[in-house]
């Protein structure tokens, strides 16, 4: 138990310092192996790499195709087209809502979080300028739309955080729709009204929009495609995945093919965009696989049985145990998919059997795992948070408090609400 705790502390501390989890995870796994009595070399070459390679084998196609899909949406201007149309529809008077909705539509359609940040930021800047709102709220608005309810809660979302639980609980992307929709409302509505309150508070203090200094705003150049045509690839992924019940790989390929066909005049840029998406996906899959490998080593040490007893021994609904495990590990790794990957790799079989034994819906376990992954993951060392602050030119001191409320605190509350719904049979 001490070794597992020490390994988690090493993992969290080094990740917080900005060190890559690609090499931090093996170090943390080595700490667990040494204190747990495992042979260090075997623990790395066999146990750790077994978990690493197994996750990469199962999920690399999804990571790669998702990244290519998002990059093509960005480079063809389709992502910008969707964001511009939605923000115009909502209006500059509701700038915060416009940013949230634009981010939410793109992420729910399958565009990766990182692509959304780059695609929406220039528009968010324009909206906040016209509405004269302090820029310090901009990262939180983007985080609310991209990192919360469309990532983990709304049934059918093609984001990886909603897909990882599927093989563990024999479910689908639309698992536990009532829990998911209610949790999404808690996050979306609660986060929006919090940001409106903060907008009013800052305005009353005289803190209004200020231009970013020494920052070149990059974005799509040229004429963006038609809004309706730009929506079609997003709709295609959602329909093929959730209504036609196609595999996520096939759904993403369908969306990619449609993007290519609708932008055939830009075919000269296709190879560059596909290459960039594919290369970008490698880092993402390796980061998550590294975290899963750590979880595989944890599962092999004797102390894991004691840890399992403690987690599964949490009184009350077993979903509480799952939520605690996923949240803690997501916080330790600074990654929603990484933390959930560790938790389900280590405890997924136990939770599935527990669902069968207790009569708790496996869909409820799926949704709680997804929701819990989107809580403590957004601590200051989270990669998406760091990217968001870098792109917006703001610091943790200026904007992280608001990010914490909308992307950590409120999602944890939403998870608790979802568990309460499951307890009364509303799944």
Q: Region 160-186: what's the mean pLDDT?
A: 96
Range of the domain at 62: 2-210+221-423
How distant, in Å, are the alpha carbons of 169, 296, 314, 323 from that of 318?
14, 22, 7, 9
Q: Give the tens place of pLDDT for each residue, 245-301.
A: 898 899 999 999 999 999 998 888 899 999 988 998 888 888 878 888 888 888 888
Q: What is the 3-state secondary structure (H, E, C) of 135-162?
A: HHHHHHHHHHHHCCHHHHCCCCCCCHHH
137 found inside a domain: yes
**Could you tell me the pTM of the whole model?**
0.82
Question: In the predicted model, is pLDDT for residue 16 greater than 70?
Answer: no
Q: Give the tens place of pLDDT for each residue, 63-112.
A: 899 889 988 988 898 988 888 888 888 887 889 999 999 999 999 998 88
8 found inside a domain: yes
196 found inside a domain: yes
pLDDT band at residue 1 under the 50/70/90 scheme: confident
Question: In the predicted model, is pLDDT for residue 214 greater than 90?
Answer: no
Number of domains in the chain: 1
Task: Say which residue, 236 or 382, is predicted with more confidence.
Answer: 236
CA angle 282, 152, 96 (to 5 degrees): 100
133 found inside a domain: yes
What's the confidence (pLDDT) of residue 68?
92
pLDDT band at residue 150 under the 50/70/90 scheme: very high
Averaged pLDDT score across all residues of the chain: 89
Task: Extract the tokens encoding 26.
Answer: 């093996």
119 found inside a domain: yes
Question: In the predicted model, is pLDDT for residue 180 greater than 90?
Answer: yes
215 found inside a domain: no
216 found inside a domain: no
128 found inside a domain: yes
What's the confidence (pLDDT) of residue 334?
73
Closest CA to 148 of 384, 344, 366, 398: 384
């Amino acid at each position: 138990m001490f070794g597992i705790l020490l390994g988690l502390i090493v993992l969290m501390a080094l990740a917080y310092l900005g060190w890559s989890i690609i090499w931090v995870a093996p170090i943390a796994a080595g700490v667990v192996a040494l204190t747990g009595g495992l042979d260090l070399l075997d623990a790395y070459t066999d146990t750790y790499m077994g978990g690493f390679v197994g996750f990469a084998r199962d999920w690399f196609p999804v990571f790669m195709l998702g990244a290519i899909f998002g990059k093509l949406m960005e480079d063809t201007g389709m992502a910008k087209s969707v964001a511009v149309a939605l923000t115009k529809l909502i209006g500059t008077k509701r700038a915060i809502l416009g940013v949230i909705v634009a981010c939410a539509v793109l992420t729910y359609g399958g565009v990766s979080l990182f692509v959304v940040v780059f695609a929406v930021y220039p528009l968010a800047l324009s909206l906040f300028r016209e509405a004269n709102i302090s820029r310090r709220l901009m990262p939180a608005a983007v985080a609310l739309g991209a990192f919360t309810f469309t990532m983990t809660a709304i049934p059918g979302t093609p984001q990886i955080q909603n897909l990882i639980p599927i093989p563990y609980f024999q479910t689908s992307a639309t698992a536990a729709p009532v829990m998911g929709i209610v949790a999404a409302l808690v996050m979306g509505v609660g986060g929006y009204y919090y940001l409106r309150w903060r907008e009013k508070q800052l305005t009353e203090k005289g803190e209004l929009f200020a231009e970013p200094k020494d920052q070149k705003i990059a974005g799509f150049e040229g004429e963006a495609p038609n809004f309706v045509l730009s929506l079609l690839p997003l709709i295609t992924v959602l329909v093929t995945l959730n209504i036609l019940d196609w595999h996520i790989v096939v759904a993403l390929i369908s969306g990619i093919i449609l993007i290519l066909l609708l932008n055939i005049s830009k075919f000269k840029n296709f190879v560059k965009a596909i290459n960039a998406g594919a290369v970008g996906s490698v880092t993402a899959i390796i980061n998550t696989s590294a975290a899963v490998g750590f979880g595989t080593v944890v599962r092999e040490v004797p102390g894991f049985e004691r840890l399992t007893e403690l987690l599964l021994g949490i009184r009350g609904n077993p979903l509480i145990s799952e939520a605690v495990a996923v949240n803690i590990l997501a916080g330790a790794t600074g990654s929603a998919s990484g933390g959930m990957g560790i938790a389900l790799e280590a405890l997924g079989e136990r939770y599935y059997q527990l669902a069968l034994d207790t009569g708790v819906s496996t869909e409820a376990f799926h949704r709680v795992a997804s929701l819990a992954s989107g809580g403590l993951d957004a601590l200051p060392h989270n990669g998406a948070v760091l990217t968001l602050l870098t792109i917006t030119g703001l610091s943790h001191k200026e904007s992280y408090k608001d990010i914490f409320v909308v992307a950590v605190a409120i999602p944890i509350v939403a998870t608790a609400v979802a568990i309460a719904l499951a307890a009364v049979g509303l799944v």
